[in-house]
Amino acid sequence: MLTNSPGEIGGWFLPLAKTIKETYPIIDIIAVLLPCQYASGTEAKVVAESKLFSRVIDRDELLKFLISPQLNDKKILILQLGGDPYWGTLFKIRLKGKLFIYSDSLVHINRWADKILLADPKFSKGRKNEVVVGNLILDSIDTSISIDGSSIAFLPGSRPYGLKLVLPLMLETSEQLKEKMDNPIKFIISPFIPLETLSEYLPSSFRVENNKIISSSGNIYYIERGGSWNWVKDVKLAINIPGTNTLQLALLGIPQITILPLQWADYIPLEGILEWISRIPLIGRFIKRTVINKLIKKLNFIALPNIISRRKITEEFIDKINPNILAQKILDLLNDQKRLDKMKDELRSIRFLGGAGENIAKLIGDELFE
Protein backbone atom coordinates (compact mmCIF):
# COMPACT_ATOMS: atom_id res chain seq x y z
CA MET A 1 0.00 0.00 0.00
CA LEU A 2 1.44 3.32 -1.11
CA THR A 3 0.60 6.67 0.45
CA ASN A 4 2.15 10.06 1.12
CA SER A 5 0.93 12.69 3.60
CA PRO A 6 -0.80 12.87 7.02
CA GLY A 7 -4.15 13.70 5.38
CA GLU A 8 -4.15 10.57 3.21
CA ILE A 9 -2.78 8.41 6.02
CA GLY A 10 -5.44 9.45 8.53
CA GLY A 11 -8.31 9.89 6.08
CA TRP A 12 -7.81 6.89 3.78
CA PHE A 13 -4.80 4.70 4.45
CA LEU A 14 -5.15 3.52 8.05
CA PRO A 15 -8.95 3.05 8.01
CA LEU A 16 -8.69 1.00 4.81
CA ALA A 17 -5.77 -1.11 6.06
CA LYS A 18 -7.80 -1.90 9.20
CA THR A 19 -10.77 -3.03 7.11
CA ILE A 20 -8.55 -5.18 4.88
CA LYS A 21 -6.93 -6.91 7.87
CA GLU A 22 -10.31 -7.49 9.53
CA THR A 23 -11.70 -8.95 6.31
CA TYR A 24 -8.64 -10.96 5.27
CA PRO A 25 -6.27 -11.44 8.24
CA ILE A 26 -4.02 -13.61 6.08
CA ILE A 27 -3.13 -10.72 3.75
CA ASP A 28 0.35 -9.36 4.41
CA ILE A 29 0.36 -5.56 4.04
CA ILE A 30 3.52 -3.54 3.50
CA ALA A 31 3.20 0.23 3.96
CA VAL A 32 5.26 2.40 1.60
CA LEU A 33 5.60 6.14 2.25
CA LEU A 34 6.13 8.26 -0.85
CA PRO A 35 7.92 11.63 -1.07
CA CYS A 36 5.56 14.47 -0.24
CA GLN A 37 5.82 18.23 0.33
CA TYR A 38 3.08 17.97 2.97
CA ALA A 39 4.94 15.42 5.09
CA SER A 40 5.42 15.88 8.82
CA GLY A 41 8.41 13.53 9.10
CA THR A 42 6.70 11.26 11.64
CA GLU A 43 4.47 9.29 9.26
CA ALA A 44 6.51 6.08 9.55
CA LYS A 45 6.20 6.08 13.34
CA VAL A 46 2.42 6.65 13.27
CA VAL A 47 1.90 3.97 10.61
CA ALA A 48 4.08 1.45 12.47
CA GLU A 49 2.23 2.08 15.73
CA SER A 50 -1.03 1.01 14.08
CA LYS A 51 0.38 -2.56 13.96
CA LEU A 52 -1.47 -3.22 10.71
CA PHE A 53 1.64 -3.70 8.58
CA SER A 54 4.39 -6.29 8.47
CA ARG A 55 6.84 -3.68 7.20
CA VAL A 56 6.92 0.10 6.89
CA ILE A 57 9.13 1.46 4.12
CA ASP A 58 10.00 5.07 4.91
CA ARG A 59 10.94 7.60 2.24
CA ASP A 60 14.68 7.20 2.79
CA GLU A 61 14.34 3.43 2.23
CA LEU A 62 12.43 3.64 -1.06
CA LEU A 63 15.39 3.18 -3.38
CA LYS A 64 16.76 0.24 -1.39
CA PHE A 65 13.32 -1.42 -1.37
CA LEU A 66 12.88 -0.99 -5.12
CA ILE A 67 16.34 -2.43 -5.80
CA SER A 68 15.83 -5.38 -3.48
CA PRO A 69 12.20 -5.76 -2.34
CA GLN A 70 12.74 -9.27 -0.94
CA LEU A 71 9.19 -10.46 -1.55
CA ASN A 72 8.41 -14.16 -1.91
CA ASP A 73 4.68 -13.84 -2.48
CA LYS A 74 3.20 -15.48 -5.55
CA LYS A 75 0.63 -12.71 -5.91
CA ILE A 76 1.40 -9.05 -5.36
CA LEU A 77 -1.04 -6.16 -5.54
CA ILE A 78 -0.02 -2.50 -5.41
CA LEU A 79 -2.68 -0.21 -3.96
CA GLN A 80 -1.94 3.50 -4.24
CA LEU A 81 -3.72 6.02 -2.01
CA GLY A 82 -2.24 9.43 -2.75
CA GLY A 83 1.08 10.58 -4.16
CA ASP A 84 2.29 11.06 -7.72
CA PRO A 85 0.91 8.34 -10.05
CA TYR A 86 4.34 7.51 -11.47
CA TRP A 87 5.23 5.84 -8.16
CA GLY A 88 2.43 3.33 -8.65
CA THR A 89 3.64 2.68 -12.18
CA LEU A 90 7.23 2.20 -10.98
CA PHE A 91 6.15 -0.28 -8.31
CA LYS A 92 3.94 -2.17 -10.77
CA ILE A 93 6.84 -2.62 -13.19
CA ARG A 94 9.37 -3.52 -10.50
CA LEU A 95 7.18 -5.89 -8.48
CA LYS A 96 5.31 -7.35 -11.46
CA GLY A 97 1.97 -6.98 -9.69
CA LYS A 98 -1.35 -5.41 -10.53
CA LEU A 99 -1.91 -1.75 -9.72
CA PHE A 100 -5.07 -0.34 -8.13
CA ILE A 101 -5.28 3.45 -7.66
CA TYR A 102 -7.88 5.20 -5.53
CA SER A 103 -9.11 8.62 -6.67
CA ASP A 104 -11.54 11.17 -5.22
CA SER A 105 -11.20 13.60 -8.11
CA LEU A 106 -11.12 13.87 -11.88
CA VAL A 107 -7.32 13.68 -11.79
CA HIS A 108 -6.52 9.99 -12.17
CA ILE A 109 -4.53 9.67 -15.36
CA ASN A 110 -2.50 6.46 -15.25
CA ARG A 111 -2.64 4.15 -18.23
CA TRP A 112 -0.75 1.52 -16.24
CA ALA A 113 -3.46 1.08 -13.61
CA ASP A 114 -5.35 -2.21 -13.72
CA LYS A 115 -8.18 -0.67 -11.71
CA ILE A 116 -9.02 2.93 -10.85
CA LEU A 117 -11.17 3.00 -7.72
CA LEU A 118 -13.45 6.03 -7.84
CA ALA A 119 -14.99 7.78 -4.85
CA ASP A 120 -17.96 8.87 -6.96
CA PRO A 121 -19.34 8.10 -10.45
CA LYS A 122 -19.07 11.80 -11.36
CA PHE A 123 -15.29 11.31 -11.56
CA SER A 124 -15.62 8.68 -14.28
CA LYS A 125 -13.93 9.17 -17.63
CA GLY A 126 -15.69 6.16 -19.13
CA ARG A 127 -12.76 3.78 -18.94
CA LYS A 128 -13.26 0.03 -18.60
CA ASN A 129 -10.88 -0.22 -15.64
CA GLU A 130 -12.89 2.18 -13.46
CA VAL A 131 -14.80 0.89 -10.43
CA VAL A 132 -16.95 3.12 -8.22
CA VAL A 133 -16.26 2.12 -4.61
CA GLY A 134 -17.36 5.10 -2.50
CA ASN A 135 -15.52 7.75 -0.53
CA LEU A 136 -12.93 6.49 1.95
CA ILE A 137 -13.13 9.65 4.06
CA LEU A 138 -16.36 8.34 5.59
CA ASP A 139 -14.44 5.39 7.04
CA SER A 140 -12.19 7.79 8.97
CA ILE A 141 -14.93 9.45 11.06
CA ASP A 142 -17.70 8.43 13.43
CA THR A 143 -20.91 9.99 12.13
CA SER A 144 -22.91 8.62 15.07
CA ILE A 145 -21.29 11.08 17.51
CA SER A 146 -23.72 13.52 19.08
CA ILE A 147 -22.29 17.06 19.11
CA ASP A 148 -23.52 19.72 21.51
CA GLY A 149 -21.41 22.24 23.38
CA SER A 150 -19.75 25.63 23.48
CA SER A 151 -16.05 24.80 23.06
CA ILE A 152 -13.76 26.45 20.53
CA ALA A 153 -11.27 24.02 18.96
CA PHE A 154 -8.05 25.15 17.30
CA LEU A 155 -6.37 22.71 14.88
CA PRO A 156 -2.87 24.02 13.99
CA GLY A 157 -2.02 21.19 11.59
CA SER A 158 0.51 18.40 11.32
CA ARG A 159 3.56 19.98 9.69
CA PRO A 160 6.28 21.16 12.09
CA TYR A 161 7.32 24.20 10.02
CA GLY A 162 3.68 25.31 9.86
CA LEU A 163 3.06 24.57 13.52
CA LYS A 164 5.91 26.88 14.48
CA LEU A 165 4.01 29.76 12.88
CA VAL A 166 0.33 28.86 13.16
CA LEU A 167 0.27 27.61 16.76
CA PRO A 168 1.56 30.92 18.24
CA LEU A 169 -1.00 32.83 16.15
CA MET A 170 -3.79 30.60 17.48
CA LEU A 171 -2.57 30.87 21.07
CA GLU A 172 -2.37 34.66 20.95
CA THR A 173 -5.83 34.69 19.39
CA SER A 174 -7.09 32.55 22.28
CA GLU A 175 -5.72 35.09 24.73
CA GLN A 176 -7.74 37.78 22.97
CA LEU A 177 -10.85 35.62 23.07
CA LYS A 178 -10.49 34.91 26.79
CA GLU A 179 -10.83 38.62 27.49
CA LYS A 180 -14.26 38.71 25.85
CA MET A 181 -15.90 35.30 26.32
CA ASP A 182 -16.14 32.33 28.66
CA ASN A 183 -16.27 29.52 26.08
CA PRO A 184 -13.79 26.70 26.76
CA ILE A 185 -10.89 26.68 24.30
CA LYS A 186 -8.87 23.61 23.40
CA PHE A 187 -6.11 22.67 21.01
CA ILE A 188 -6.30 19.52 18.91
CA ILE A 189 -2.78 18.27 18.27
CA SER A 190 -2.24 15.96 15.31
CA PRO A 191 -1.03 12.41 16.04
CA PHE A 192 1.84 13.25 13.69
CA ILE A 193 3.19 15.79 16.18
CA PRO A 194 4.90 14.13 19.19
CA LEU A 195 3.49 15.74 22.33
CA GLU A 196 6.92 15.81 23.92
CA THR A 197 8.00 18.26 21.20
CA LEU A 198 5.02 20.60 21.55
CA SER A 199 6.83 23.05 23.81
CA GLU A 200 9.29 23.74 20.98
CA TYR A 201 6.55 25.53 19.06
CA LEU A 202 5.19 27.69 21.89
CA PRO A 203 5.91 31.40 22.42
CA SER A 204 7.88 32.16 25.59
CA SER A 205 4.70 33.33 27.35
CA PHE A 206 3.18 29.83 27.21
CA ARG A 207 4.18 26.49 28.73
CA VAL A 208 2.99 22.90 28.54
CA GLU A 209 1.95 21.06 31.70
CA ASN A 210 0.57 17.53 31.28
CA ASN A 211 -2.45 17.89 29.00
CA LYS A 212 -2.64 21.69 29.22
CA ILE A 213 -1.11 24.77 27.68
CA ILE A 214 -0.90 27.56 30.27
CA SER A 215 -0.30 31.20 29.42
CA SER A 216 1.60 33.70 31.57
CA SER A 217 -1.75 35.39 32.25
CA GLY A 218 -3.01 32.16 33.81
CA ASN A 219 -5.36 31.04 31.03
CA ILE A 220 -5.58 27.28 30.54
CA TYR A 221 -6.09 25.59 27.18
CA TYR A 222 -6.61 21.85 27.16
CA ILE A 223 -4.75 19.63 24.72
CA GLU A 224 -6.58 16.79 23.01
CA ARG A 225 -5.20 14.34 20.51
CA GLY A 226 -6.38 14.15 16.92
CA GLY A 227 -6.87 10.80 15.24
CA SER A 228 -10.01 9.92 17.21
CA TRP A 229 -13.20 11.94 17.39
CA ASN A 230 -14.25 12.08 21.06
CA TRP A 231 -12.98 15.65 21.25
CA VAL A 232 -15.67 16.91 18.86
CA LYS A 233 -18.60 16.18 21.20
CA ASP A 234 -18.61 19.65 22.79
CA VAL A 235 -17.29 21.72 19.87
CA LYS A 236 -19.27 24.72 18.67
CA LEU A 237 -16.67 26.11 16.28
CA ALA A 238 -13.35 24.89 14.86
CA ILE A 239 -10.51 27.03 13.54
CA ASN A 240 -8.16 25.17 11.20
CA ILE A 241 -5.88 25.42 8.20
CA PRO A 242 -6.51 23.87 4.76
CA GLY A 243 -6.39 20.08 4.78
CA THR A 244 -8.29 16.83 5.21
CA ASN A 245 -9.75 17.76 8.60
CA THR A 246 -11.79 20.56 7.00
CA LEU A 247 -13.79 17.85 5.22
CA GLN A 248 -13.91 15.45 8.16
CA LEU A 249 -15.30 18.18 10.43
CA ALA A 250 -17.74 19.22 7.71
CA LEU A 251 -19.15 15.69 7.51
CA LEU A 252 -19.64 15.82 11.28
CA GLY A 253 -21.56 19.07 10.87
CA ILE A 254 -19.10 21.27 12.76
CA PRO A 255 -18.92 24.97 11.74
CA GLN A 256 -15.41 26.17 11.05
CA ILE A 257 -13.18 29.02 9.98
CA THR A 258 -10.30 27.93 7.76
CA ILE A 259 -7.37 30.34 7.77
CA LEU A 260 -4.51 30.91 5.35
CA PRO A 261 -2.08 33.52 6.79
CA LEU A 262 -0.43 35.17 3.79
CA GLN A 263 2.36 36.75 5.86
CA TRP A 264 3.91 33.27 5.74
CA ALA A 265 3.36 32.61 2.04
CA ASP A 266 6.90 31.18 1.89
CA TYR A 267 5.71 28.22 3.97
CA ILE A 268 2.54 27.35 2.03
CA PRO A 269 3.19 24.02 0.24
CA LEU A 270 2.73 23.98 -3.53
CA GLU A 271 1.65 21.07 -5.69
CA GLY A 272 4.08 19.00 -7.75
CA ILE A 273 7.34 20.28 -9.17
CA LEU A 274 6.66 23.89 -8.15
CA GLU A 275 7.27 22.98 -4.52
CA TRP A 276 10.66 21.48 -5.26
CA ILE A 277 11.64 24.46 -7.44
CA SER A 278 10.68 26.78 -4.59
CA ARG A 279 13.22 25.05 -2.35
CA ILE A 280 16.17 26.16 -4.49
CA PRO A 281 18.57 28.14 -2.26
CA LEU A 282 18.53 31.95 -2.51
CA ILE A 283 15.82 32.26 -5.17
CA GLY A 284 13.35 29.62 -3.99
CA ARG A 285 11.43 31.77 -1.52
CA PHE A 286 11.05 34.59 -4.02
CA ILE A 287 9.71 32.14 -6.59
CA LYS A 288 7.23 30.73 -4.07
CA ARG A 289 5.95 34.16 -2.99
CA THR A 290 5.43 35.13 -6.63
CA VAL A 291 3.58 31.90 -7.44
CA ILE A 292 1.44 32.03 -4.28
CA ASN A 293 0.37 35.63 -4.94
CA LYS A 294 -0.72 34.70 -8.46
CA LEU A 295 -2.51 31.53 -7.35
CA ILE A 296 -4.41 33.27 -4.54
CA LYS A 297 -6.05 35.61 -7.06
CA LYS A 298 -7.40 32.61 -8.99
CA LEU A 299 -8.37 30.59 -5.92
CA ASN A 300 -12.08 30.24 -5.26
CA PHE A 301 -11.91 28.32 -1.98
CA ILE A 302 -9.37 26.72 0.37
CA ALA A 303 -11.62 24.56 2.60
CA LEU A 304 -12.56 21.18 1.14
CA PRO A 305 -16.30 21.38 1.90
CA ASN A 306 -16.45 24.64 -0.08
CA ILE A 307 -14.29 23.27 -2.91
CA ILE A 308 -16.43 20.15 -3.21
CA SER A 309 -19.73 22.05 -2.97
CA ARG A 310 -18.46 24.79 -5.29
CA ARG A 311 -19.96 27.39 -2.98
CA LYS A 312 -19.14 29.03 0.31
CA ILE A 313 -20.47 27.03 3.25
CA THR A 314 -17.78 27.40 5.90
CA GLU A 315 -15.91 30.62 6.61
CA GLU A 316 -12.49 31.27 5.11
CA PHE A 317 -9.93 33.91 6.03
CA ILE A 318 -7.17 34.46 3.47
CA ASP A 319 -5.06 37.45 4.38
CA LYS A 320 -2.19 38.70 6.50
CA ILE A 321 -3.71 37.60 9.80
CA ASN A 322 -3.03 38.86 13.30
CA PRO A 323 -4.59 37.71 16.62
CA ASN A 324 -6.82 40.77 17.01
CA ILE A 325 -8.45 40.41 13.60
CA LEU A 326 -8.85 36.63 13.87
CA ALA A 327 -10.33 36.88 17.38
CA GLN A 328 -12.89 39.41 16.15
CA LYS A 329 -13.91 37.18 13.24
CA ILE A 330 -14.40 34.29 15.65
CA LEU A 331 -16.48 36.43 18.02
CA ASP A 332 -18.60 37.76 15.16
CA LEU A 333 -19.42 34.22 14.04
CA LEU A 334 -20.10 32.97 17.57
CA ASN A 335 -22.54 35.84 18.04
CA ASP A 336 -24.36 35.02 14.80
CA GLN A 337 -26.38 31.92 15.74
CA LYS A 338 -28.39 32.14 12.52
CA ARG A 339 -25.20 31.87 10.47
CA LEU A 340 -23.92 28.97 12.60
CA ASP A 341 -27.20 27.06 12.22
CA LYS A 342 -27.22 27.63 8.47
CA MET A 343 -23.63 26.40 8.24
CA LYS A 344 -24.51 23.23 10.15
CA ASP A 345 -27.51 22.52 7.92
CA GLU A 346 -25.50 23.04 4.74
CA LEU A 347 -22.65 20.85 5.99
CA ARG A 348 -25.08 18.05 6.79
CA SER A 349 -26.36 18.26 3.21
CA ILE A 350 -22.99 17.11 1.86
CA ARG A 351 -23.42 13.49 0.82
CA PHE A 352 -20.85 10.89 -0.18
CA LEU A 353 -21.14 7.25 -1.21
CA GLY A 354 -20.31 5.00 1.75
CA GLY A 355 -18.89 1.50 2.00
CA ALA A 356 -15.57 2.26 0.29
CA GLY A 357 -13.43 0.25 2.71
CA GLU A 358 -15.52 -2.90 2.39
CA ASN A 359 -15.81 -2.53 -1.39
CA ILE A 360 -12.05 -2.10 -1.87
CA ALA A 361 -11.28 -4.98 0.51
CA LYS A 362 -13.55 -7.24 -1.55
CA LEU A 363 -11.86 -6.22 -4.79
CA ILE A 364 -8.48 -6.98 -3.23
CA GLY A 365 -9.68 -10.34 -1.94
CA ASP A 366 -11.13 -11.25 -5.34
CA GLU A 367 -7.81 -10.38 -6.97
CA LEU A 368 -5.51 -12.18 -4.54
CA PHE A 369 -7.64 -15.27 -3.89
CA GLU A 370 -9.35 -15.88 -7.23
18-29 residue pLDDT tens:
999 999 999 999
Is a pLDDT exceeding 80 seen at residue 277? Answer: no
> In the chain, where does DSSP find H-type helix?
6-8, 14-23, 43-49, 62-67, 85-95, 160-178, 244-251, 273-277, 284-298, 304-309, 323-334, 337-348, 356-368
Under DSSP, the state recorded for 72 is -
DSSP string, 128-156: TTEEE---GGGGGS-TT------EEEE--
Residue 211 amino acid letter = N
CB 349 within 8 A of CB 314: no
Percent of the chain with pLDDT over 90: 78
> In 180-336, where does DSSP find H-type helix?
244-251, 273-277, 284-298, 304-309, 323-334
Entry pTM = 0.92
Kindly give the pairing relationship between strand 115-118 and strand 130-132.
parallel
The pLDDT score that the predictor gives to residue 134 is 97
Confidence of residue 272 (pLDDT cuts 50, 70, 90): low
Query: Mean pLDDT over residues 60-82, rounded?
Result: 92
The pLDDT score that the predictor gives to residue 37 is 81
The pLDDT score that the predictor gives to residue 276 is 66
The larger pLDDT score, comparing residue 370 to residue 167, is at: 167
The pLDDT score that the predictor gives to residue 274 is 67
Distances from the Cα of 259 to the Cα of 157, 317, 318, 319, angstroms: 11, 5, 6, 8
CB 108 within 8 A of CB 86: no
The larger pLDDT score, comparing residue 341 to residue 37, is at: 341
The pLDDT score that the predictor gives to residue 109 is 64
The pLDDT score that the predictor gives to residue 185 is 98
